[in-house]
Amino acid sequence: MESTHNEKHAGQMRAVLHERYGPPDVLHVELVARPSPGPDQLLVKVHACTVNRTDCGFRSAKPFIVRFFRGLVRPKKRILGTEFAGVVETIGDAVTEFAIGDRVFVVNADVFGTQAEYVLVKQDAPVATMPAGVSFVEAAGLCDGAILALAYLRHVGVGPRMRIVVYGASGSIGSAAVQLANHFGADVTAVCGAENIEFVRSLGAATVLDYRHEDFTETSDPYDVVFDSVGKLSFARCRKAVNDGGTYLSTDLGPWQQNPALALWTARFGRKRVAFPLPRYTRADVDLIKHLVEAGEYRAVVDRHYPLEQVVAATRYVETETKTGSVALCIAGGADRTPDPGKRP
């Protein structure tokens, strides 16, 4: 029966599709054509991928500006997903840097399409062989949050003796920012819920505050950098927590989509700046993350994992805005050495 099933669906693969914008229920798993690699491409069999804030925003078309990139009336690209880990199954004739059987992790943020059984990747894309001792689920969630955090931290030149506060420190970007700022030698204060304080402290934060009971914006000792890694705050609220010459960073457009405009304005006027850098996804950054993992200076944080068919449930959980690190979808046995759904790391 198994061979009959495989023959029936030869040349096809399962993928998560959405034909319209809307709530998580617009997502569904369907058979689509399996892609074939071009001369400089790898065909990777996906073992695990993630569901993140970017996926949710592009699926719901919120903010509305998303439609100008993805399709005004309906999405032009039906498969979401920006990061994954898997095994190289086929390579094009011009591929020299990877071989069939390589275990790789990839961030595909420019083209999406990773919530599927197979994904095409150019050999010069942000892809690297997986760090030793890391599972597929862990590797799937290594890139996106870390590269976003890197873009923001580099923009302000985070380094030794700088004081930074990371708000939303238990999320994918926040947990990456805590680890990376600590790696760069900064003095890190992290803000999260009480249930995650010990976990966030284990990532390298010198001080951890419970946002429900402690307001970091009321400090009498302002920070060099205030990093709102979940886009929940505003420059107006955080302004007095930023010292003269310091910077407020946010991963969101902010109230009334004002952060890009504030970034331009404060670059010329005033002593406190707003920064809204655009990330670049590069092979060098993926290699850096791999190096930090293997050196024991960075670790993957996986909150929950779900089978591909439970993508709606996974997405709903992401949208509760309570996740710790990443939420993964498992395909082809990707759940090795990871927690069961519902368990915290």
Question: Is 339 a member of any domain?
Answer: no
Quick one: 166 and 136 in the same domain? no
- Give the pLDDT confidence of 140-193 residue by residue, as tens digits: 999 999 999 999 999 999 999 999 999 999 999 999 999 999 999 999 999 999
The answer as to whether 154 is a domain residue is yes
The reply to whether 254 and 222 lie within a common domain is: yes
| Domain-located, residue 344 | no
8 Å CB contact between 152 and 277: yes
Let me know whether 211 and 221 are in one domain. yes
* Whole-number pLDDT of residue 341: 41
Chain Cα centroid distance, residue 282: 14
> What is the distance between the alpha carbons of residues 248 and 266, in angstroms, rounded to a whole number?
10
Please check whether residue 345 lies inside any domain of the structure.
no
- Residue 95 is predicted with a pLDDT of 97
Q: Are residues 193 and 296 in the same domain?
A: no
What's the pTM value of the predicted model, to 2 decimals? 0.90
322, 256: one domain = no
What pLDDT, in 10s, does the model give residues 234-251?
Answer: 999 999 999 999 999 999
Residues 78 and 134 in one domain: yes
What sections of the chain are H helices per DSSP? Answer: 2-8, 53-60, 67-70, 136-140, 144-155, 172-183, 197-202, 235-238, 259-266, 283-294, 311-318
The pLDDT of residue 336 is 52
Q: State whether 77 and 176 are in the same domain.
A: no
Calpha distance 48→117 (Å, rounded)? 9
How many structural domains are present in the chain?
Answer: 2
What is the torsion angle, in degrees rounded to the nearest 10, for the CA atoms of residue 111, residue 116, residue 118 and residue 122?
A: 10
Stretch 80-106: mean pLDDT: 97
Kindly state whether residues 169 and 302 are assigned to the same domain: no
271: domain range? 144-275
Q: What is the pLDDT of residue 63?
A: 80
The domain that holds 106 is classified in CATH as 3.90.180.10
Q: Are residues 231 and 215 in the same domain?
A: yes
For the cut 50, the answer to whether the pLDDT of residue 338 exceeds it is no
Confidence at residue 342, expressed as pLDDT on a 0 to 100 scale: 39
The CATH number for 258's domain is: 3.40.50.720
The tens digit of pLDDT for each residue in 206-224 reads: 999 999 999 999 999 999 9
Instruction: Tell me, yes or no, whether 336 lies in a domain.
Output: no
Write the CA distances from 231 to 43, 58, 120, 244, 323, integer angstroms: 35, 16, 32, 22, 15
Does 265 share its domain with 286?
no
Amino acid identity, residue 223?
Y
Nearest to 17 by CA among 33, 1, 37: 33
What is the residue-wise DSSP string for 166-194? EESTTBHHHHHHHHHHHHTT-EEEEEE-G
Residue 323 is predicted with a pLDDT of 93
Tell whether 102 and 181 lie within a shared domain.
no
Mean pLDDT lowest among 154-168, 255-269, 313-327? 255-269
- Cα separation, 169 vs 230, in Å, equals 9
Across 316-325, average pLDDT:
94
Query: 87 and 45 in one domain?
Result: yes
Confidence of residue 337 (pLDDT cuts 50, 70, 90): very low
